Amino acid sequence: MTDAKRSALRHWLSDVRESRDHPHDAGIDPCGVHWQRHAEGVLELTPSGMDATATTSDAADGKSPSAAEQPSHRYDAVLSCGIHGDETAPIEIVDGILRDIADGKLTLRERVLVVLGNPDAVRAGKRYLEYDLNRLFQGAHAKRAESPAVQRARELEVIVAQFFAGVDGVRRQRRHVDMHTAIRASLFPRFAVVPGTPERPPRAAWFDALAAADIEATMRTEQPSVTFSYYTCARFGAESCTLELGKVAPFGENPLADFAGIDAALRRWLSGGDMAAREDGQVLQARRFRVAAEIVRRTDAFVLDVPADTPNFTAYPAGTVLARDGENTYTVSHPEERIVFPNPDVANGLRAGVMVVPE
Ligand SMILES: [Zn+2]
C-alpha cells in the first residue's frame, strides 16, 4: 500500500499511544521520505532520492538526484527508545525529530530504523510489564517462557537483522543509539554504556561523537550482555551505545533543555553531518571508564553494603568491602572503583552492581 497523503512520521507516537494498528504497511510521506512499518512503533525510513528497493546498478542510470539532494548513504542507523515504557524523554526526542522531518525542517539523509521498544509498557506508563525487555536480547528470549516481552524481543531481533542486511548490497557503517533515562541519581547525569568485543573495540571517534552530544561519561564494556545495544554490537558489528539521559519523568514533564545536546547530535547525524561536530564549535571530552567487574548475587545470603539510592558513579577506595555472599566478598581492588546500577534486591544469579575504573 502506498499512501502519499498520510504522514506516518507525524503520527508515529500518537499511533502507538492510542494503539492504532497499522500492521506492515508502507508509503511515501508527503516530505518524500519512504517509510515502511515493520511492527507497532517500528518504522524504517529511507531518504528521498534513495530508492528503498534500488540495486547498486540503478544508481548509475543518469536519473539520480543532484549532488545537493543526494542522501549521504553512510549509515544504516538504528534509533531506539521506549525499551522501558516509562522513560519518556527519549520518546519525545525521537517524536520531535520525526515531526521535523515530516515538516521539512530536517532533511533525512541516512537510512534509519526507528524503534519504540515496548508499546504496551509505554501505554501503561510502566518500565515493563511482565519482564524487562532489555534483558531479553542476544537470544535470551529463547530461554524464557513465551510472553509478550519475549515475543517483542524476538520480533525486534528479526527486524534489526533484516534492516542491517541492507537494501542495495552496499555495506554501510552500522550504528545503534538506544536511549533511556535512569531511575536513580547519577554523579554524571548523562552517560553512555558502550559495548565492544575484544576483536572489535569501539573507535575513538565514537567516544568523540558521544561527548559532542553532551554525554558526560562513558563506560566501555566487553562483558557479554543481553541488552539491545550489546546485541547490535556483538551480532552486527554496529557502533552501539545505551544512553542514560537523566531522570525518568512522565510525558510532557521532561526538562527537554537537558536533552538538547543529544537531540542536536542526532539531528546532525541523520541529516548527513558529523555527530561529533557541534554547531558551537566546542570540543568536549567525556570522562572515560571501563567496566572492571560485576557484582553478582549468588545466594540468599547476599548483602550489598551500598544503599539502594546510592548515585551512579559513587567512588570507593581500595580495600572497601562492598558485598558479602556467604564466604565470598567483593572488595575494591583498584585504587578507586565507582559503582553503577547498584541494586541490592536483584534475584539470585543477576547483577547487583557494575564496578568501573578510569580508562
Ligand atoms: Zn531504561
Provide the pLDDT confidence category of residue 150 given band limits of 50, 70 and 90. very high
- CA angle (9 as vertex; 6, 15 as ends), nearest 5: 80
CA–CA gap between residue 114 and residue 77 (Å, rounded) = 8
Largest interatomic CA distance in the chain: 73
Share of the chain above pLDDT 90, in %: 78
Range in 49-58, 230-239, 317-326 the model is least confident about: 49-58
Query: According to the model, what pLDDT value does residue 167 have?
Result: 79
- 132 Cα: distance to centroid of ligand 1 (angstroms): 9
Residue 63 has pLDDT above 70, yes or no: no
| Integer angstrom CA distances of residue 106 from 32, 64, 93 | 12, 21, 14
Whole-number Å distance between alpha carbons of 160 and 228: 10
Residue 341 alpha carbon to ligand 1 centre in Å: 11
Quote the cell numbers at residue 209: 561523537
Q: Which residues neighbour 192 within 8 Å (Cβ) at sequence distance 6 or greater? A: 210, 215, 217, 218, 219, 241, 242, 243, 244, 286
Residue 322's pLDDT band, with cuts at 50, 70 and 90, is very high
What local confidence, expressed as pLDDT, does residue 21 receive? Answer: 75
Residues 178/241, Cβ–Cβ less than 8 Å: yes
In tens, the pLDDT along 196-209 reads 999 889 999 999 99
**Higher-scoring residue by pLDDT: 147, 350:** 147
pLDDT at 70: 53
CA distance 104 to 108: 9
Strands, DSSP E only, in 82-184? 111-116, 173-182
Residue-range domains of the chain with CATH: 3-48+71-271 (3.40.630.10), 292-358 (2.40.50.630)
Cell of 264: 542536536
Rounded to the nearest integer, the mean pLDDT of the chain is 90
Q: Label residue 89 exposed, middle or buried (CB < 10 Å: 0-12, 13-18, 19+).
A: buried
Active site residues: 244
Q: Which is more confident, 350 or 186?
A: 186
Q: What is the mean pLDDT of residues 195-224?
A: 96
For residue 87, report the distance from its CA to the centre of ligand 1, in Å: 6
110 is in an annotated binding site: no
Query: Hey, which residues does 330 pair with through a beta bridge?
Result: 323
Cα-to-centroid distance, 46 and ligand 1 (Å): 27
Question: What is the rounded CA–CA span in Å between residue 73 and residue 172?
Answer: 7
Of 308, 341, 310, 305, nearest to 320 (Cα)? 305
Dump pLDDT digits (tens) for 5-44: 678 999 999 999 988 877 779 999 999 999 999 999 999 9
The residues that bridge with 240 in the sheet, in sequence order, are 176
Instruction: Please give the share of the chain, as a percent, with pLDDT higher than 70.
Output: 92
Output the CA 147–ligand 1 centroid distance in Å.
Answer: 20
Q: Tell me the pLDDT band of 79, cut-offs 50, 70 and 90.
A: very high
Edge-first strand order for the sheet with 303-304 is 303-304, 321-325, 328-331
Give yes or no for residue 182 having a pLDDT over 90.
no
pTM equals: 0.92
87 labeled part of a ligand binding site: yes
- Measured in Å, residue 75 CA sits from the centre of ligand 1 at 25
Contact by Cβ (8 Å): 95, 193:
no
Q: How far is the CA of 22 from the centre of ligand 1 (A)?
A: 26
CA of 117 to the centre of ligand 1 (A): 10
User: What is the DSSP track for 295-345?
Assistant: EE--STT-EE-S-TTPPBTEEEETT-EEEEETTEEEE--SSEEEEES--TT
Whether 155 has a binding-site annotation, put simply, is no
Kindly indicate the confidence band of residue 65, based on its pLDDT and cuts at 50, 70 and 90.
Answer: very low
Residues around ion ligand 1, judged by CB within 5 A, are 84, 87, 180
Instruction: State the pLDDT confidence band at 60, using cuts at 50, 70 and 90.
Output: very low
The alpha carbon of 5 and the centre of ligand 1 are apart by a number of angstroms equal to 35
